[in-house]
Amino acid sequence: MQVRARAVNRFALAFRLPVIVWQGLFFLGPLFFMIAMSFFLVKNYRMEEAFELKNWARMLTRGYVWDSYWYTFGVAGLATLAATLIAFPAAFALAFRVSEAVRRWAIFLLIIPFFTSYLVRTFSWYVILAESGVINAGFGTVGLGPYTLLNTPIGTVVGYLTLTLPLVVILQTVALANIDRNLVQAARNLGCPPRRTLFAVIVPLAKAGLIIAALFCFILSFGDFVAPYYLGGSKPPTLPILIIDTTKSGQQWPRAAVVAVMMMLTLFAIAATSIWLAYRRRSSA
């Protein structure tokens, strides 16, 4: 029996090994290198290995770094909230109100935007958000506007939603579609009104999926460079823009690594909290 168990373990390991090797080589390796690089120094545009706290001291004491940090956190959080709220009715309809065939088609259509480059999709918003664009033309017909939508935080959030909304709808749909219908039916049979069924039965049952969808939205938005640069006008810059600015000026990759590590730590904290919230068991009273 022991020999057989060992053979099974080897078999399982052989299948797991590629993922472990991949993660080690292309995630953990670069991550450790990035952390190490944040202690390096730059002399004559060339990085020199060192273990100095100068980069950390410099970046953490600059007001603009913290301004960027809180702005990025806020605008990514806003996009996450918006995506979650906008996606939910659509996901609910796809999970509960349409046939299996319609749901499959809808999910296929939600995947289609990913066939096109995100940069191209972002640039297409110029035509819509510009002062002479489609939205302002619509406002113009009722005597309103034009409003400045490009190069504002609104533009940034629109860009983030372009990136994340289809994904959030798909993840929410999957979460809602996997709910045991008998539990929903039981609640209704016991006289629970629709709204209460939604908030007391459906949302708690789909909680893990809904939180994971929001988490993905936050992670993608927090690290996105394209939307805040091209639709937000880099005004103010988010952390990914700050990283680019830092590397462009004097090739301060170590200082950019400090910002990147700050971002990673933030995302680890957010992900850990989200997973805890998603999978914690409700304490029995």
Partner 1 sequence: MSEQVNLTRRSVLAMTGATALCAPFIGRAWASTTEINMLAWYGHGEADIVGAFEEANNVKFKPKYYAGGDNMLALIAQSPPGTYDVILSDAEFVQQLNAAGYIEPLDANDYPFDDMLHDDFRKFPGHWDGDTLFSMMVRFGHLGVSYNTTAISAEEAMSYKCFWKPEVKGKVGHFDWHLPSLGMMSLYNGNGAGLWDLDDAEWNAVQETTMSLRPQVGGFFDYGGTFNSLKNGEMLAMCGIGDWITGVLEKDGAPVASVIPNEGGIQWTESYCIGKDSSKADLVKTFIQYMLSPEGQVKSAQMAAYPGNCITRGGRAALVAADGAEAERTNQVDGNPMDPIALINDGRIHYRDIPINQTLEDWNDFWSEYKNA
Q: Interface with partner 1 by CB under 8 A: which residues?
A: 44-46, 62-64, 67-68, 71, 123, 126, 130-133, 148, 150-151, 229-230, 232-237, 242, 245, 247-252
CA-closest candidate to residue 172, choices 218, 112, 212, 113: 212
Smallest gap from Cβ 183 to partner 1, in A, equals: 50
Element containing residue 41 per DSSP (H, E): strand 41-43
Smallest gap, in angstroms, from Cβ of residue 270 to partner 1? 23
DSSP label at residue 63? H
Q: State the minimum distance, in angstroms, from the CB of residue 226 to partner 1.
A: 11
Q: List alpha helices for the chain, DSSP H.
A: 2-23, 29-37, 54-60, 63-92, 100-111, 118-129, 134-141, 153-177, 181-189, 194-197, 203-222, 226, 239-248, 253-279
| Nearest distance in Å: CB 248, partner 1 | 6
Backbone angles phi, psi at 41, to 5 degrees: -120, 155
The answer to whether 139 and 109 have CB atoms below 8 angstroms apart is no
Nearer Cβ to partner 1 (48/180): 48
Name the residue nearer to partner 1 (CB basis): 107 or 234. 234
| Smaller CB separation from partner 1, 202 or 243 | 243
CB 127 → partner 1: shortest distance, Å?
Answer: 8
Query: Is the sign of the CA dihedral 50, 51, 52, 58 positive or negative?
Result: positive
Nearer to partner 1, 89 or 250 (CB): 250
**Cα 89 from Cα 86, distance rounded (Å):** 7
- For partner 1, the closer of residues 33 and 105 by Cβ is 33
- Separation of alpha carbons 8 and 135, rounded Å: 61
Is 160 or 230 the residue whose CB approaches partner 1 more closely?
230
The answer to whether the CB of 232 falls within 8 A of the CB of 153 is yes
Q: How far is the CB of 58 from partner 1 (least distance, A)?
A: 9
